[in-house]
Every structure is written in structure tokens, then in C-alpha cells.
Structure 1
Amino acid sequence: MNHGDTSRERGRRGATAHVDTFARDHLPPPDQWPGLDLDIPTPPGQPGPPGLRHPDRLNCADELLSGPPADRPVFLTPAGPAWTYGELRARVDRIAHLLTGDLGVVPGNRVLLRGPTTPWLAACWLAVLKAGAIAVTVLAQQRPHELATLCDIARVRHALCDVRAVDDLVRAEVPGLRITTYGGDAPDDLLNRPAPEGPYPAVDTAADDVALIAFTSGTTGRPKGCMHFHRDVLAIADTFSRHVLRPRPDDVFAGSPPLGFTFGLGGLVIFPLRAGASALLLEQATPRQLLPAIAEHRVSVLFTAPTAYRTMLDALDGHDVTSLRRCVSAGENLPAATWHAWHERTGLRVINGIGATELLHIFISAADEDIRPGTTGVPVPGWHARVQDEHGDPVPDGEPGLLAVRGPVGCRYLADPRQRVYVRDGWNITGDTYVREPDGYFRYVARADDMIISAGYNIAGPEVEDALLRHPDVVEAAVVGRADRARGQVVVAYAVLKEGAARDAEALRVFMKTELAPYKCPREIVFLDALPRTATGKLQRFRLRGPAYPGGDQQ
């Protein structure tokens, strides 16, 4: 199998359209590039290849906007009429005119985008890409010091910000940053400025010009800027979405992840636009807000995290979810217990998947009858995966090792020495411990740094978490290792219980002994009101290991 040649892929790059070449100049050196696979097998019964080998000139925003009929709805909100594709195109063109006219943005400039999930934020994202600039979409929850760090790493000098989210961006005091608000009443607000009429001709970007910089969500250490090309944006739609999700033009997408999280960017903007479908964009999308929205807007494709599915189970009564036909879970491993409970209550088979900011979206998954609860699935068409040891040698099926993947998208950190850690011999090493079963299915074990070694036993924290979640009173669970002189580490479990449930650690321990081998059972169980999570909902186990939490290491 030809997995591509990293030097060849770098050598075939088209002439950049970027005037500001900062991003291109700070790509990793050639010998640290991932190998790319741009050929895709066509599964039996499906149409031919979707064309991962794009022409040398490609503007992904223009491509996403150019197909569907003008009168078809594209973005819905709880308040106000739906936007049509024709209206979206006109608004994107207007913003692009303003970016390159009044605001002085040139191709290759990084433009920070900040605000809750709204059609205007999506339109700004598309306009930035159509104008040949680079979108840096951040989370509305991030605080001034976090924003200052991201702007420093990406050398951001322009920002489009929802007027309701501008205060913290101002407080970040980013040198030279020009902030333009949208959604306000001021004459210089983006939406109130006079702009040229008519279409905006998309900048003739190279397929491998950087289109976006997505920052890792901060589960560990300093965030890393992940640079993705125009062709990458289409590749995730033409692999996972096209071959696993299989959307239809009449689908209505919705979900909880924000657009600053690539899980949400794909699920709420890229995938519906590529399919000519529509998306319900919710500013607030907690589990209890999702359920009535699904019923009211007849949502058919749902993107959210395992915790949300589990929370929604307790609130399903009285809510109509019969419009759903596709439920996608990512961001964290989906416990088999949650999968079975959702299927039992709704009849729907949750599509589990593993993705990464470094690889833009999901690369291992399965749908429909191919789903096997308790596994993530198989490589998405166009992707390849294996399990290897720390030296890069494949391990036998059934044995745990590091997950390595490669496909049409690869990790390219922005001027970050951790590139050498993530990409090795052309493979992307995701930091997950996996087992490949003899039948080719991949089963998640743990994040590589979440393996607990206690008295010589290897214990996967997520396995213990899954067992805890089988208890009817446990809503959320997290398991970490705590340093111990005698055993090296001991297992400490943190649990969030249903409202009104008794915090009885001994009863939970008795239950766990019926679910797991004794050496895997927690030595200590700590009850919390909530687990520490990132703004995108990912569990921050490293914080539980610290002195701020009961049971954490004190040294």
C-alpha cells in the first residue's frame, strides 16, 4: 500500500495566494510532515471516489457555497426566519468585501473569530476563507489570558467578534489587534458598514494554502495551533461525512459543540453545506436545551458528546426525538453502557468516532449494522490505522499499543517542537492507547497518559469509568492514578451522582467488585458536584491529579 511520500507532498504544493506568508513560513520542516493518502477506496454499492486529489487551485469556502439552490434553507435559529443559501452567499460576499476593503485584510492574514454559535459567526468564517485569509475560531468562554496566548502564537492582528463577547477580547490587550464587532448598533459595526454590492470573487488560493488554525482544547499544557489546508476542509466531508454519516439534502443538523471546536465546525457547518442540507445553530446547547430543539425543528442529525447522551436519557420523557436518524458521539470515548441505554430508549444506534484537532475530524468510526458497542469502529474510507509500540513497530492484534493513523489530512503544528512527537515516520500518533481486534475493529483503552500501573498491573482508567457508569446513580465518572509508595499508583475514582442520590462510597465499592477484577477497583471514591472540563466539554483528568482536588497528588 502506498501511503504517500512526505517530501513529495510538500514539493507538489501550488504557488500560494497568500500575501502574508506567516503561516506557510511556520509550517513544520519537510522531514516532520505527515504522509498523506489522497486515494480512497470506494465501498461496494456506493458512488465513485469523491475526488480527494483536488486541483492545485481551490477555495473551500467558494466550493461549499456554490452548489445548493438559492432558495434552500441553510441555517435555522430558535428566533427569526431561516437563512437560505442565497442569503448566506450574499452575506458572506458582503463581509468579504468589507474584510478586504475597509478592514485591510490581505490573503494570509489570520482573523480571529469569537462569539456564540450563530449564522453570523458561520458567515464570518466562510467570508474569511473566501477572502483568502486564515480563520482562527476561538471559544466564547475563553478568558483574556487564554485569548492573548492564542493571538501571540498565531500572530493575529484582525478579529471579528460578536458584540456580546467582545469585553474579554478587549481585556486581552493584544498588541496591534484590530477588533471589529458584529451584531451591535454602532455605525462601525461590521453589519452596519456600507459595503460594495454584488458577488465577491473568491481569492484563487492554492489547495494547500492554510485555511484555518485550530487550537487544541487545553486538556494538557500550552495549546498547539493546528494548521489545515483548503483541501483538508473538503476531505473531512468527503470521507467521514460522505461514507459514514451519509447525510441527505433534507437533513437538519444540530449539536452542542461550538464552532471553535473542530467537531462542531464539521458537524454544524462543513458537513451540512457539503451535502446541501441545513443546520440549527444554537447559542446554548445543553442536553436539556437540545431535546426541545430537536422536536421543534425536526432535527435529524445530532452531534454531541457521550456525557450529553447520558444526561438526555434522564430527560427523554415528554420529548419527541422521532425526527432523529443519525446520532454522532465524539470528543471522548463512548461507554458501551451509554450506547446500549440510548439504543434501548430511542432505537437509535449512536455513531461513535474518534477524531482530533490535529486531524480536523473523525477518522475511525462505524454506522448502522457495522457498529459494535464498546469499540470505536474501523478506519473511515480514505484513512488507515494501526496499533504500534513506542518504537513504531506494529503490535499483534489483541495487544494494546499506540494508535497511529494517516489519511488525507495530517498534523501540522504552527512552529511547535511537539510536531516531532505527534508525527513519526509519516504516521500521526494520537496519544491514545488502542487494541485492534482480530476482525479489524479498533477498541479504545485509554489516553496513553491515563494508563494506571498499580502493583505491576496495567489498569485503563476508562474501563473503570465505564463500570462506574453502569451504576444507576452515577451520572459522570473520572478515574486517575495517584502516586503510592507501596504500589506505584493506586486507582482514585471521582463520581457525580444523580440529584438526591446518597453519597455512599462503600456501596459503590461493593458494586464495583461485581463489575471488575479486584485489582482494578478504586482504592478511593471521591464525590464531586461537577468534573473539571474544558470549554469544549473534554474531561481534564490532569486537574484531578493535582492538589486542588481531594485524592489528588499533594506533592
Structure 2
Amino acid sequence: MTVASAHTDSFVRDRLPPKAQWPEFRYDLPEQQIPDQANVVSALFAQALANGRGDKPFLRSPSQTLSYAQAEAEVNRICGVLLGECKLVPGNRVLLRGGNSIEMALAWLAVVKAGLIAVATMPLLRAKELDQVADKALPSLALCEAHLLQEMERVAQVQSGDLPMLVFGDAARADGLEARSAKQSADYAGCATAADDPALLAFTSGTTGVPKACVTTHREILAACNAWPRHVLKATADDVVTGSPPLAFTFGLGGLLVFPMWAGASIYYPDGRYSPETMVREMRQHGVSICYTAPTFYRQMAPFMQSIGVPSLRISVSAGEALPDATRQLWKQATGIEMLDGIGGTEVFHIYISSAGADVRPGAIGKVVPGYIAKVVDDDDNEVPRGTVGRLAMIGPTGCRYMQDERQTKYVTKGWNHPGDSFMQDEDGYFFYQARNDDMIVTAGYNVGGPEVEGCLLTHPAVAECGVVGKPDEARGMIIKAFIVLKPGYQGDAALVKTLQDYVKNSIAPYKYPREIEFITQLPRTETGKVQRYKLRQTP
């Protein structure tokens, strides 16, 4: 680090893995050359104002709209509360608990602009899970949205009264964040953080049941803005962006706050919970042009898109879990839009393989995003021939550094990040997702990717959702087992089991058919929409 850290509290920096365990960071593109002194929030606001966006809409909800200049003033006032009233110092962690709202966005921006480290948490987490986050991050303050207060208060009690808390999202609350910040100055230049100072601790969403704390710096976020958003998404200042991923999830943080801010676009946050139908209606009403959500929600939205329509929509971004081709085609039929798929991860902040528009190839996630390098390797990290299935490895301007976690050496080897996915790369450089490494099913000597079988089953008219895993079997090592949620009107009986098995046999290689099918009412999912296959594997 050529610029001294601004963090007088070195808690996170002191708990980074040894440098020998870090991935290689590459900043090969001119636009990814970030100054050694940089604060991501200060930089993004400065860019928006320099580009004449000061009076243009930035944060929007059904009841409120803030311009870029108004939002920056609110952020500066919150910084005054954090640094002045609460006496926090750069490097302190702030636990954030809130939904996708203007107030949550302002709180996150203020924490990072003040040189503090944001520790955002999913709204559906309960006290036990929040306490695990607090135990690891040791926050100096919690900022909690008013309607999510109950679980947070239980955490504050468990933390022996050592965790002070401020409530936001209730303007009438005399001791709330809004009332306190109204008394503060709207002028604040921002903490002069080193670019390599941590900006956030992002906890993984727990598909394996044990979340990890991922450290992301100001430099990495700014460099990420100049990778996928610049070269693939290509949002403009005229875009209106919305979606469902939580701001506490890096997919949501990038897509629904940081990346639109980088483009000078406008973000619309719907109030409260919404259904696929109400989401479509709100998108139409507010002229949404870019939408982010998971494949499952796109599948549920498709019939309403066909009947209601959103003429302003031009980009549909899918990430968070594998995109079945059946869902891609269903969405294209309903909207005429080729879905923009991508793979990223909390460990590396956002998307690093993706393709858009005419560059989309059926069945492929896409090509490596400019600024990143990716390859498919064997168990010894040797690159395998094109067309061969292996483990994905990548390096670029972002990379994995777990805070105080022995699993660092499993994710990073020889300087490369290993996200834990099995892929195949073709001769043209397109990457085809196969499965999570631990979701690869080896049955009677054949390697079968669970997502491929899921994608096949989803094209049958009886299947609403499904999850496919391997089940131990003495004779075959593993058998393929499918957990299926049926559409209304279908009976989960032995006849349908055989129908679905035959359907798979006739659609893809016969050895890939599920030898067991169990009908269930819903799949276990994380709050970000990912299927928790480890829970399916635990089913007797």
C-alpha cells in the first residue's frame, strides 16, 4: 500500500489472510487504474456531479425521489451523526439491517463515505444468525430499519449491551437517524481512505450453511465498476433500474446501487414485499429499463410480462444461481429480450463471466469479462483441453480474501480464485456452467451436472421448480434424485414419476434420468434465491 491507511481501527486489516494466500490482482485495463487514495462513495458522487447529474433523479420510491445532489447532502448529514455524535473512527464496522429502500441505500453510502466498514445483513436473518455476524465482525454500531427492529434488539441484548443501535426508516422517531441527521451539516468531503482500505465485509449467503466474511476494498469496487458494467451491461444515465436482490447481497449492492450510480442512472425501490405481478406493474408504471433478479423470479414474472408488458424494459440481468435455458426461452418468448446471464460471487464482489445481446450463445453463460482472466483446470490446477469439464479458476481486479477463515486456502491456490464451480470452455472461449463442484453427481462412472437435469425437467409442463442432487447408492456410487415442486393441477403419483423419468431419457442422455423423484411443496432457498442443495442432500 503506497498510501497510508486511513483506518485508525485496523481490526479487519489485521485479520486478513497472510499475503502468500492472497489471489493475484490484475489491473490491466487503463480504466481500472485506480488512484492509491480513493473513497468509492466520494468518487461516485463526484463523477455524477461532474457529469451534470446533480439535479437528476438518483434514488426513487413510490413516495419519494432524491436527486444526486440531494442524496449526497443526506449522506453527508448521516456521516455527521456517525463521526460526530457516535464518535466512530475510520475502520470501525457498522452493522446494517434493512430492506431495499432509499433509507438503506443512504445508510450504506454514508458508512462507506465516512471511512467505516459496512457489514450489511439480509432482512430475513434471525437473531441467532445476526449474532454470528456480530460475533465475527464486532461492529461498533448497528443501523436498523424500523420494521426490522425486533430481531436486532435481541442481538443487542445477546451482545451484553455493547452494541449501540440507531433506527432509520421512521422520520417521526425523535431519536432516529433521520431526526439526528437533520441537525448535521450537508457538507462533508469524505474520509480520505486509501484505495486498499476495506470498504465492506460481505457475508456469503450460506448455501453451505456456514457463511464466510469476504473483505472488499474501495479499489476493488471502483475497478469492478469499470469491468462488467462498462463492457457488458452498458447502462446509461437515462436508465431506470430495479430488481429483487437485497442490497446486503453483493449482486444487489452492485446492481441496485453502485453500478447505476457509476452510470448516473436512476434506481427505483418498490415499497415492502411484492409479487411477480406487482413487480411487473410497478416496472411498467415507473418506466424501468433494467431489471435484476434470479431465474426463479423471472420464470414467475413471465406470464405477467406477456399479458401486461413493460415497453421501457431493455435489459434483464440474471445471476445468483444457474439460469436454465428453459427459463431464458420462456422470458424471451414473453418479452422479446435475450436475458443477460452472468456468474460472479460474494468473494469477488460481482460478475466476471457474462455476455449480452448478439454475443449470447445458447447454453453458455458467456465469455470472460474484460479485465478478468478465466480458465478451466484439473485438480492439480493444470488447464484442461477445450471441451473438457473441470474446475473454474479466475483472476482479475477483484479477488477473495476471507477475514480470519481457514477456508481461504481452498478458495485461492497459486494466486488463482477457485469459485467452486465446474465448467466447460469451448473453442470460441464461451464458458458453459455444469454444476457447483460439490453438486457434480458421479453415477456409475458418469459425471452428471445437477443443473442440466434440472433444466430438462423445467421444460416439462408439470414442473414449477426442481432441485437435483446425488444420493449415495451401493451399486452405482450415487444415483440422481430430483425434488420437484409441481404446478397446480398435477398429481404427484407413481404415474407422473415414470412420465418425468421417460421425459428426461428422451430429452438428454438416458443415464442422466433421475432414478428417484420426490414431490415437495417448496425448495429450500437462501434469501438471495439460491437453492440450498446441501439441505436436499440431507433429506433421507
Matched, 1:17 2:3: no
Partner of 1:274: 262
Which amino acid is 1:316 matched to? M
How far, CA to CA, are the matches of 2:283 and 2:470 in structure 1?
39
Matched, 1:77 2:61: yes
Partner of 2:123: 140
Match runs of 1:400-479 below 5 Å: 400-479=389-468
How far, CA to CA, are the matches of 1:207 and 1:336 in structure 2?
40
Match runs of 1:457-536 below 5 Å: 457-503=446-492, 504-536=496-528
Matched, 1:166 2:146: no
Partner of 2:232: 244
Partner of 2:39: 59
Please give the per-residue CA displacement for 1:521-551, whole angstroms capped at 9, x wherever unaligned.
00111111110001111110000111xxxxx
> What secondary structure does 1:243 align onto?
helix
How far, CA to CA, are the matches of 2:364 and 2:275 in structure 1?
26
Match runs of 1:198-347 below 5 Å: 198-282=186-270, 283-347=272-336
2:85 aligns with one of 70, 95, 102? 102
How far, CA to CA, are the matches of 2:474 and 2:349 in structure 1?
41
Q: Per-residue deviation at 1:255?
A: 0.5
Are 2:60 and 2:267, in contact at CA under 8 Å, matched by a contact in 1? Answer: yes
Q: Per-residue deviation at 1:268?
A: 0.6
Please give the per-residue CA displacement for 1:111-148, whole angstroms capped at 9, x wherever unaligned.
01111110110000010011100000101100001000
Matched, 1:380 2:344: no
Partner of 1:181: 167
How far, CA to CA, are the matches of 1:190 and 1:252 in structure 2?
28
Are 1:19 and 1:108, in contact at CA under 8 Å, matched by a contact in 2? Answer: yes
Are 1:311 and 1:475, in contact at CA under 8 Å, matched by a contact in 2? Answer: no
> What secondary structure does 2:106 align onto?
helix
Q: Per-residue deviation at 1:286?
A: 4.0
Partner of 1:192: 179
Are 2:119 and 2:201, in contact at CA under 8 Å, matched by a contact in 1? Answer: yes
TM-score w.r.t. length of structure 1: 0.93
> What secondary structure does 1:16 align onto?
coil
Partner of 1:392: 381
Which amino acid is 2:284 matched to? A
Q: Any stretches of 5+ residues in structure 2 without a counterpart?
A: none
Are 1:15 and 1:206, in contact at CA under 8 Å, matched by a contact in 2? Answer: yes
Identity level (%): 46
2:25 aligns with one of 27, 36, 61? 36
How far, CA to CA, are the matches of 1:259 and 1:312 in structure 2?
21
Q: Per-residue deviation at 1:311?
A: 1.2
How far, CA to CA, are the matches of 2:405 and 2:497 in structure 1?
44
Are 1:157 and 1:177, in contact at CA under 8 Å, matched by a contact in 2? Answer: yes
Which amino acid is 1:114 matched to? R
How far, CA to CA, are the matches of 1:415 and 1:13 in structure 2?
24
Match runs of 1:355-366 below 5 Å: 355-366=344-355
Q: Per-residue deviation at 1:287?
A: 2.5
Which amino acid is 1:158 matched to? L
Q: Per-residue deviation at 1:196?
A: 2.6
Matched, 1:121 2:104: yes
CA 285–266 in structure 1, closer or farther in 2 if over 3 Å, else same: farther
How far, CA to CA, are the matches of 2:476 and 2:186 in structure 1?
70
Are 1:60 and 1:233, in contact at CA under 8 Å, matched by a contact in 2? Answer: yes
How far, CA to CA, are the matches of 1:66 and 1:286 in structure 2?
36
> What secondary structure does 1:508 align onto?
helix
Are 1:294 and 1:320, in contact at CA under 8 Å, matched by a contact in 2? Answer: no
Query: Structure 1 residues 536-545 or 63-72, which shifts more?
Result: 63-72
Are 1:340 and 1:373, in contact at CA under 8 Å, matched by a contact in 2? Answer: no
> What secondary structure does 1:314 align onto?
helix
How far, CA to CA, are the matches of 1:132 and 1:451 in structure 2?
42
Which amino acid is 1:254 matched to? T
Are 1:482 and 1:545, in contact at CA under 8 Å, matched by a contact in 2? Answer: yes
Q: Per-residue deviation at 1:281?
A: 1.1
Which amino acid is 2:134 matched to? C
Matched, 1:351 2:340: yes
How many residue pairs align between the two structures? 527
Which amino acid is 2:508 matched to? L
TM-score w.r.t. length of structure 2: 0.96
CA 73–391 in structure 1, closer or farther in 2 if over 3 Å, else same: same
Segments ≥4 residues shifted beyond 4 Å: none
Q: Per-residue deviation at 1:333?
A: 1.1
Please give the per-residue CA displacement for 1:88-114, whole angstroms capped at 9, x wherever unaligned.
011000000000011121100000111
How far, CA to CA, are the matches of 1:459 and 1:24 in structure 2?
41
Query: Structure 1 residues 329-338 or 125-134, which shifts more?
Result: 329-338
> What secondary structure does 2:147 align onto?
helix
How far, CA to CA, are the matches of 2:428 and 2:274 in structure 1?
37
Structure with more of its chain in helix, by fraction: 2
Which amino acid is 2:58 matched to? V
How far, CA to CA, are the matches of 1:286 and 1:223 in structure 2?
28
Q: Any stretches of 5+ residues in structure 1 without a counterpart?
A: 1-11, 41-48, 547-551
How far, CA to CA, are the matches of 1:121 and 1:376 in structure 2?
31
Q: Per-residue deviation at 1:195?
A: 2.8
Matched, 1:537 2:525: no
How far, CA to CA, are the matches of 1:268 and 1:208 in structure 2?
23
Which amino acid is 1:105 matched to? L
How far, CA to CA, are the matches of 1:64 and 1:114 in structure 2?
23
Partner of 1:111: 94
